[in-house]
Amino acid sequence: MKKPVLIIIFSIVCISLSYPADFSGSWETTYGKMILEQNGDAVSGGYFFSGYCKIEGRIEPGGRFRFRYTEPSATGEGWFELSPDGMSFSGEWRQDGTENWYEWTGMRTSLRDSSAIWLVVFEAEWQESLDEGEYSFGEMLRAFFARLENVEVRQRFVHDRKDLINFCAETAILPGDVYILFATHGEKDGLVLRDGIARSDVIVSALAPCKNLRLVHFSSCNIMSGNTPDEIIKSRRDWKDGFVVSGYVQPVDWAGSAVFEFYYLNLIFECGMTPEEAAETAAYLFRFSGTSTVKGVEGLGFRWKTPM
């Protein structure tokens, strides 16, 4: 009689050990929003606290997540333990070189899940003086995609390189797939901002935390004729399937690019295409998407690049 009981108990223990605590997901924590990804017993991710911060470590046999964190001006260590229902964690942290430990808690966020689709528009303020009315391409896109329940549109005005870096860092902790659209003046060497040109190194650095990217589209003149697209693509090897960097190789008509981009993005968000499939399809369907003039309408010079 004892042997079957021992076998059952042993099986339960083995099952318990084979399914460690799961910290994957989005969290609202003592020190800002956090997103974590777990692969076996390895956990990594980031949170936004006075800039983008990295966190990584491993799950110990008892289920405790022991980690190291890296902030813009500090590093340290800590640990988290999940509640029995997995919906919250409690833990502590301390900065390197100090002895005191401090509380760090978090709650899972259920407002958005990993199936969410985020269109994030980083935009220049197009008007140059008070005698011009205000308008925003991001607001137009928000209104257009409001009909799709699974698509969230966020628009932010980017004035300088600091804005670019900070907003991209916030984008990195959004749960789900992210599609970034830069709606600014552009040149071959980069994006035109108030404090100068954000060149490829600045753009690549800003995008580095964004592991959730599916698309980077430059609704800007000339960007695709420079080295920025190639620098973005070669900056990492773990791009998602169908990832695309797209934009234009020449000065582009505002209305023409807007019409094209509405359809291009709609192929992704409503029709379910990958960015690569959508770029190919949109370029095929729109005769003016290339560089040829069509009945007096100058071509857009649309181009896209994918990882090799």
User: For the chain, which residues make up each domain, given as ranges?
Assistant: 21-108, 117-305
Question: CB neighbours of 61 closer than 8 A, spacing ≥ 6?
Answer: 17
Strand order, beta sheet including 196-199: 186-187, 190-193, 196-199
In this chain, the answer to whether the domains covering 21-108 and 117-305 adopt an identical fold is no
Q: Please provide the distance, in angstroms rounded to a whole number, between the alpha carbons at the two ends of the chain.
A: 62
SS3 for 142?
helix
Query: How many C-beta neighbours within 10 Å does residue 80 have?
Result: 28
pTM: 0.80
Q: Tell which residue, 110, 121, 109, has the closest CA to residue 152.
A: 121
Give the pLDDT confidence score for residue 238 in this predicted structure.
87
What per-residue confidence (pLDDT) applies to 20?
A: 58
Per-residue pLDDT at 60: 95
Distance CA 188, CA 221 (A): 8
Angle, vertex CA 113, rays to CA 145 and CA 144, nearest 5:
5
CA distance 251 to 301: 8
pLDDT of residue 306: 96
**pLDDT tens digits for range 20-54:** 589 988 899 999 889 898 999 999 988 988 788 99
User: How large a percentage of the chain has pLDDT more than 90?
Assistant: 68
pLDDT at 110: 62
Can you state the angle between helices 200-207 and 161-171, rounded to 10 degrees? 30
CATH superfamily membership of 21-108:
Quinohemoprotein amine dehydrogenase alpha subunit, domain 2 (2.40.128.120)
Q: What does the pLDDT look like over 232-271, one tens digit per residue?
A: 999 998 898 999 999 999 998 889 999 999 999 999 999 9
The whole-number pLDDT of residue 129 equals 80
What is the distance between the alpha carbons of residues 181 and 268, in angstroms, rounded to a whole number?
A: 13
Distance CA 191, CA 182 (A): 9
Residue ranges of the chain with per-residue pLDDT less than 70: 1-20, 110-114
In this structure, which topology does domain 117-305 adopt according to CATH? Rossmann fold (3.40.50)
Residue % of the chain over a pLDDT of 70 = 92
Residue type at 17? Answer: L
What are the tens digits of pLDDT across the range 85-95?
Answer: 999 999 999 99
pLDDT for the residue numbered 7: 42
CA atoms within 13 A on the CB side of 4: 1
Residue 304 identity: W
